[in-house]
Chains A and B, each alone.
Chain A
Amino acid sequence: MRLELGSFPVDDAVLGSQTRWHDNVLEVSREELLDLVLEDEHISSASLDLIRPGESVRVINRQALLEAKVKVSGPGEIYPVIGGRATSTVGQGRTHRLVDLAVVLCVDGKPLGPSARTRSERSLEASGGSRNGLNRGGYLDMSGPGNLPPYDTLNLVCLTVETPTGEAEDRDQALRAAALKIADRLARTTVDLDPPEMEVFDFTTHDPTLPGIVFIPHFASDEWTLGPRSQRGTAVYGQTRLSAPWLLYPSEMMDGAVYMGTGRTTNWHLSNSAVVLNLARRHGHTCNFLGCIIQRTNWTTQQEKDLAAERAALLARRLGARGAIVTTDFRGQRFLETALTVRACERQEISTVLLTGEEDNEEGGAPPLLVSFPEIRSVVSTGTGGFEQSFPAVEEVVGAAQPDEHWFGEMGPVHGRYGVNYIPDYDGFGHQSCEDY
């Protein structure tokens, strides 16, 4: 598996008469992109806005974040199988991507004009704090202390769509198609160009003197409520069902083989995974990156969870892994499955690091992890997702036709308890560190 990854930096994104990338600037034709989205009869209105990091903007109604990436050679398409794409295995040939840019999908219940970007009309002091006094997050600040990684460096192309018609599966399909149309069209601006930056990853060669490492991310399956054939939720090559672990080449993940529906982490984080890219860059130098073991969670009996953990660990062992990095994507029983995988790997003599968020410690009264085992020896915490400062008032809100006035005002801290969070970090993008007392 050999992948050439060509990167096109985006220092600025601007509205213009055509859609093209030149000299690190992405020019975007609003009319062209909105016409593409409105081709779908399920979508009656949509808006397109550009947001630079640092602008006093709050994004609400967010549902997805996508990287703009395209295969220029080699089999398959980015985000394989999704929305009717080819089933061919990805991860080979050449992929082009726009860097420092992402497509945001917002969904509003009301009819939209070409722009869903609103300035506050009233004085910012007049609008109160969060509704009900309790801030449950659900928005994104592009400036101030709430402008967390990766959004502090991402130019956002924000597509706001009026809630599509139809049943849940149809609506989800329409939303997915709309976001992908934008991501594809933007990525295709790079197809015939020479990438300013190029990396080559070759996973076919192994240096036998280097230790083998695997990455074992856990993704919840919604099969227990939606059935095995739903297209909603996280998918591996389009499969959302609860299955035995999938073994992927790292470059398959880079090409979007794991696709996140609306959910906790995002497509951007998956196809841009910090763990995958960092291990891939070390392949052949300090380690052999043996692969990504995609573990599905939401098995619903203790025995099934134990079995799934055992299979993932055995697979890692048979690949020759001496080390593993494990991540999760949700709390509760899914975290238990993640902890069981860590335990099973350690029992197979694989040194395992768990990279995870924590539960809030409730002023010292509660443990940071839901469950723990003595075998879990190394944990890297990405924090609780809570946010202890207030979010200052903002000048503009993006993502709704007529945002409620309270969105413009100061928002209180997010307490981080019981999974309430601002921007959870399941993938290790944050820059937090800690002091040892």
Chain B
Amino acid sequence: MISAIPVIPSAAEVSRVVRGMRVEHVCGDPNLSEESDRQLMRRIVETALQAMQTEVTGPTIFDPDQSPGKEEAHAS
């Protein structure tokens, strides 16, 4: 799941949560130039695709800024 507020899906025990931008524009940022926005969108979606192929042990948050790495996080 791509979410701007990862705490909520983590509490619902969603296995893979990709950190998005804002609730009103999760996969990009309309304040950037069109090119930068597209690159950002691509990075977020690629992180999501990468996350789908990653083994996880519990709810895990994936941060597009830190790809290809990931950050382990738990609901509590």
Q: Which of B4-12, B34-42, B43-51, B52-60 contacts A (4 or more CB under 8 A)?
A: B4-12
Does A300 lie within 8 Å of B23, measured CB to CB?
A: yes
CB distance from A405 to the nearest CB of B (A): 41
Does B24 lie within 8 Å of A224, measured CB to CB?
A: yes
CB distance from A377 to the nearest CB of B (A): 14
Question: From B20, which residue of chain A is reached at the shortest CB distance?
Answer: A301
A296 at the binding interface (Cβ < 8 Å) = no
Does A333 lie within 8 Å of B23, measured CB to CB?
A: yes
Q: Which of A14-22, A44-52, A60-68, A368-376 contacts B (4 or more CB under 8 A)?
A: A368-376
**Bound complex: CA of A432 vs CA of B24, how far in Å?**
37
Question: From B10, which residue of chain A is reached at the shortest CB distance?
Answer: A371
A176 at the binding interface (Cβ < 8 Å) = no
**Bound complex: CA of A374 vs CA of B74, how far in Å?**
13
**Bound complex: CA of A372 vs CA of B12, how far in Å?**
11
Does A370 lie within 8 Å of B21, measured CB to CB?
A: no
How many residues of chain B are within 8 Å of chain A by beta carbon? 12
Does B76 lie within 8 Å of A336, measured CB to CB?
A: no
**Bound complex: CA of A373 vs CA of B74, how far in Å?**
12
A305 at the binding interface (Cβ < 8 Å) = yes
A302 at the binding interface (Cβ < 8 Å) = yes
Does A302 lie within 8 Å of B7, measured CB to CB?
A: yes
Q: What is the 8 Å Cβ interface bit string for chain A, positions 201-228, against chain B (1 contact, 0 not)?
A: 0000000000000000000000011000
Q: Give chain A residues whose Cβ lies under 8 Å from the Cβ of B23.
A: 224, 300-301, 333
Q: What is the 8 Å Cβ interface bit string for chain A, positions 283-317, against chain B (1 contact, 0 not)?
A: 00000000000000000111001000000000000
Question: From A304, which residue of chain B is reached at the shortest CB distance?
Answer: B22
Q: Give chain B residues whose Cβ lies under 8 Å from the Cβ of A373.
A: 76
Does B6 lie within 8 Å of A371, measured CB to CB?
A: no
Does A305 lie within 8 Å of B5, measured CB to CB?
A: yes
Beyond A336-B5, A374-B76, whether A300 also contacts B11 by CB under 8 A is no
**Bound complex: CA of A334 vs CA of B59, how far in Å?**
22
CB distance from B46 to the nearest CB of A (A): 21
Does B22 lie within 8 Å of A302, measured CB to CB?
A: no
How many residues of chain A are within 8 Å of chain B by beta carbon? 13
Question: From A339, which residue of chain B is reached at the shortest CB distance?
Answer: B7
Q: Give chain B residues whose Cβ lies under 8 Å from the Cβ of A301.
A: 4-5, 21-23
Which of A224, A225, A302, A374 has a CB less than 8 Å from the CB of B5?
A302
Within 8 A of A (CB), among B17-33: 19, 21-24
Beyond A305-B5, A336-B5, whether A370 also contacts B22 by CB under 8 A is no
Q: Give chain B residues whose Cβ lies under 8 Å from the Cβ of A305.
A: 5
Q: Give chain B residues whose Cβ lies under 8 Å from the Cβ of A302.
A: 4-7, 19
Most chain B CB inside 10 Å of its own CB: which residue of A300, A336, A370: A300
Question: From B3, which residue of chain A is reached at the shortest CB distance?
Answer: A302
CB distance from A60 to the nearest CB of B (A): 32
Which of B7, B8, B22, B76 has a CB less than 8 Å from the CB of A300?
B22
Question: From A366, which residue of chain B is reached at the shortest CB distance?
Answer: B12
Q: Give chain A residues whose Cβ lies under 8 Å from the Cβ of B19.
A: 302
Which of A224, A225, A371, A374 has a CB less than 8 Å from the CB of B11?
A371
**Bound complex: CA of A224 vs CA of B7, how far in Å?**
20
**Bound complex: CA of A374 vs CA of B19, how far in Å?**
23
**Bound complex: CA of A336 vs CA of B24, how far in Å?**
17
Question: From B19, which residue of chain A is reached at the shortest CB distance?
Answer: A302
Question: From A300, which residue of chain B is reached at the shortest CB distance?
Answer: B23
Q: Give chain A residues whose Cβ lies under 8 Å from the Cβ of B7.
A: 302, 336, 371
Within 8 A of B (CB), among A219-251: 224-225
CB distance from A334 to the nearest CB of B (A): 11
**Bound complex: CA of A333 vs CA of B7, how far in Å?**
10
**Bound complex: CA of A268 vs CA of B8, how far in Å?**
32
CB distance from A369 to the nearest CB of B (A): 9
Does B8 lie within 8 Å of A333, measured CB to CB?
A: yes
Beyond A300-B23, A300-B24, whether A370 also contacts B4 by CB under 8 A is no
**Bound complex: CA of A361 vs CA of B24, how far in Å?**
29
Could you pull out 12 A-B pairs where Cβ atoms are within 8 angstroms? A300-B4, A300-B24, A301-B5, A301-B21, A301-B23, A302-B19, A305-B5, A336-B5, A336-B8, A370-B11, A373-B76, A374-B76
Binding site for A on B (CB under 8 A): 4-8, 11, 19, 21-24, 76
- Taking A224-B24, A333-B5 as known contacts, 12 extra A-B pairs with beta carbons closer than 8 A to each other, sorted by chain A number, are A300-B4, A300-B5, A301-B4, A301-B5, A301-B21, A301-B23, A302-B4, A302-B5, A305-B5, A333-B23, A373-B76, A374-B76
Closest 6 CB pairs of A and B: A300-B23, A371-B11, A300-B22, A302-B5, A224-B24, A301-B22
